[in-house]
Structure 1
């Protein structure tokens, strides 16, 4: 995770949805129920409850799919299924998308077997940022001077920190934001040493998120943990 799949697709969706009368972007994640997924999809594509005597919460899976078919009949739609972990997600709902005219379904996933649902010509695998782009992104988050320029005395340590992020945008943005309010070079060196220690036990994104979490005040850590109790 953290390579930018959701960010890229979200930008495409926001730009292109005006060209589709029906559109929906849904986060699936590892834990989902089919009926909840279909209800969310139905609401997003424009379902109005007064259209039926039975409320959407009373519909079973068959009824939900039939309503989706009615709304999408003879209509272009753009559907984004974000963070899909199993092929079964698509197989369980694809029959609701029959007879679609010039429509598009976009799936984001970190799993190769899910990506294999798309033909090779419709399969986009994101790559980590190259060093110049990674450094530029870091500077945009870490430095608020004109042009987001890295001060000369920070260039060596900044380059070392960015290299540790391995081109992952989430890691770069997180560590850059963390250091933006810490303009002391000794703090940056200390953070770099902490990062090396974290990387021995975690992957790159998790290591940097751990640093960011432990940098929070006690109250904010408690707030974060409370929010983490809720499902995605």
Structure 2
């Protein structure tokens, strides 16, 4: 949803967009590096953050180009003065915007936004459309529609949460029997008692997708990805090398064949939406999926 909003906002607005993933462990250095690269400043690691902040502040104040900064997934209030993006009257708010996303209402209050938008779960029509899209019409209309009622029950258990609808939809592709859908519904409804509300729905949904992984080797490969730091980019080639070096992938046949096995596992994890493709060489993992794995 954040990506969709971001691209729709940037499209007609003529704003240059810069985004940075903040996450639970705040790194002012990394945030400033992302911003400085985006506005054409040189990042120097040994420079004090407050000095870098002043550079950023002055560069933004001088600029006449429309600029929007997105701080994604913040877990504590950010010191915008230290970062260098709170210039008071020196910033023209018609050409400079700060947007942030958070799951925590108290963090949003501390950031004192001019406008707060609370994202609600999807309504039933949109939920079903998203879920059905990822399951596929071939599966939904197999066996003379004998699974359609169960498919709708499974979709309702996702609670209107887009990530859950997508991940579970992918997991149920090619599940043609009522038994498979009844089992999925049963597993979704027996969520851990310690996880409440929307998180309970989401974690139970993601666990079903994890349980749907074909074998223990692929599960180990997925769990290995969870040990990368939050919001990391994962080198596709390096990941396969790590799997081999860690003994998760046995050297059966040639080394080339083993590497190809690793690439095939990556493709299956991508198809299940348990990891995401950043570009041809790099992968990422949604932080909620990482939390579920850990």
TM-score w.r.t. length of structure 2: 0.66
Alpha-carbon distance between aligned partners in 2 of 1:15 and 1:149, rounded to the nearest angstrom? 37
Contact 1:139 1:149 in 2 (8 A): no
Aligned residue for 1:100?
Answer: 91
What residue number does 2:74 align with? 84
Q: 1:226 and 1:172 mapped to 2: Cα distance?
A: 24
**How many residues were matched structurally?**
217
Q: Deviations over 1:105-156 (max 9, x none)?
A: 111111112222213xx2111111111111111111111449x878632221
2:29 to 15, 25, 35: 35
Q: 2:145 aligns with which of 136, 145, 152?
A: 152
Q: Residue 165 of structure 1: CA displacement?
A: 1.0
CA RMSD of aligned residues (A): 2.6
Partner of 2:282: none
Ranges in structure 1 where 5+ consecutive residues have no aligned partner: 50-54
Asked if structure 2 preserves the Cα contact closer than 8 Å seen for 1:26 and 1:82, the reply is yes
Aligned to 1:80, what secondary structure does the other structure show?
Answer: strand
Q: Which of 203, 207, 214 is residue 206 of structure 1 equivalent to?
A: 203
Distance 1:89 1:16, change over 3 A: farther
Task: Give, in whole Å, the separation in 2 of the partners of 1:194 and 1:93.
Answer: 45
Stretches of structure 2 lacking an aligned partner (at least 5 in a row):
231-294
Contact map agreement 1:138 1:176 (CA 8 A) in 2: yes
Alignment partner, residue 5 of structure 2: 9
Q: Which has the higher contact order (CA 8 A, sep 6+)?
A: 1
Q: Given the superposition, is the C-alpha separation of residues 185 and 90 from structure 1 closer, same or farther in structure 2, using an over 3 Å criterion?
A: farther
Matched residues in 2 for 1:211 and 1:97: separation?
A: 47
